[in-house]
């Protein structure tokens, strides 16, 4: 069994499988063991260039190597000090919360808790189990003739909006049909209907010249639970 003393900062670099990282003057020295002879992924032997090692009973393997071997790209977001695994944000897109804040929210009962939006913060699921960290959610209460409207400023800067529309995990058992209207500068441009069991669907809207966009969720009949839809991976393009 081989053992070796390595700098703590270098050990951190090995976890990511990155190069060009050097130990600082206040780095700690760790005693690690290179006792891993083989790694099998789906019964195929694969060993990374940066060898795995064991420290204090835990085996450390380069994160980038394992993720990419399993088909998930890895991206280091230096601005947010975040490692993204799998689907990453579109660098040419503008996202609610990170780049745009809402300008108005209204609903039929004057409740302020019937919407949310997030960029890489909390994670939610759609009605078929897909997870998202970038999204807008809109909800209504279970009573009849309920609606909720959220608006975002565009100021004529954006040309396209893309999202995946669907029920959230929380709202998947609705018993009545929902309606989502999209408004540009108070004018309705698209209407979508959503029912229990519907698959999430990708939508794309043209925004050229619009000063604001609004999303209005409504239902006419009372139901057994509150309604909630998600605009998953919502993003704007200039």
pLDDT score, position 165: 98
pLDDT, tens digit (0-9, with 9 covering 90-100), for 144-186: 889 999 999 999 999 999 999 999 999 999 988 999 999 999 9
| Structure letter (DSSP) for residue 200 | P
Given a cut of 50, the residues of the chain with pLDDT beneath it are 6-24
pTM (two decimals): 0.68
CB contact at 8 A, 18 and 64? yes
Other beta carbons within 10 angstroms of residue 191's beta carbon come to 10
Other beta carbons within 10 angstroms of residue 31's beta carbon come to 10
Question: What ranges do the domains of the chain cover?
Answer: 2-85, 104-237
Q: Which residues contact 13 (CB under 8 A, 6 or more apart)?
A: 19, 21
Name the CA dihedral angle for 63, 64, 65, 66, rounded to a multiple of 10 degrees.
50
> For 52-58, which contacts have Cβ atoms below 8 Å and span 24 or more sequence positions?
53/4, 53/6, 53/14, 55/11, 55/30, 55/31
pLDDT, tens digit (0-9, with 9 covering 90-100), for 33-48: 778 888 888 888 888 7
pLDDT score, position 23: 43
pLDDT score, position 89: 64
Q: How far apart are the C-alpha atoms of 8 and 237, rounded to whole Å?
A: 42
Instruction: Name the 3-class secondary structure at 128.
Output: coil
CATH 2.60.120.1060 fits 104-237, yes or no: yes
Bridge partner residues of 181 (DSSP):
191, 216
DSSP string, 49-73: SS--EEETTEEE--HHHHHHHTT--
């Amino acid at each position: 069994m081989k053992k070796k003393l390595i700098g703590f900062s270098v050990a951190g670099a090995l976890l990511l499988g990155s190069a060009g990282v050097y130990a600082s003057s206040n780095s700690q020295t760790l005693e690690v063991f290179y006792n891993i002879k083989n790694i099998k992924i789906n019964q195929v032997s694969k060993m990374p260039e940066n060898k795995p090692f064991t420290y204090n009973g835990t085996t450390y393997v380069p994160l980038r190597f394992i993720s990419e071997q399993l088909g998930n790209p890895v991206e280091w977001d230096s601005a947010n000090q975040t490692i993204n695994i799998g689907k990453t944000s579109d660098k040419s897109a503008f996202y609610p919360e990170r780049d745009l804040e809402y300008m108005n929210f209204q609903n039929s009962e004057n409740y302020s808790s019937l919407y949310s939006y997030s960029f890489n913060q909390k994670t939610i699921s759609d009605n078929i189990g897909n997870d998202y960290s970038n999204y807008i959610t809109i909800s209504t209460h279970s009573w009849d003739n309920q609606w909720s409207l959220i608006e975002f400023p565009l100021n004529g800067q954006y040309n396209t909006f893309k999202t995946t529309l669907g029920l959230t995990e929380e709202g998947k058992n609705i018993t009545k049909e929902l309606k989502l209207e999209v408004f540009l500068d108070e004018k309705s441009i698209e209407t979508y209907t959503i029912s229990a069991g519907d698959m999430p669907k990708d939508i794309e809207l043209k925004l050229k010249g619009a000063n604001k966009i609004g999303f209005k969720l409504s239902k006419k009949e009372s139901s057994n639970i509150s309604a909630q839809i998600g605009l998953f991976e919502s993003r704007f393009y200039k």
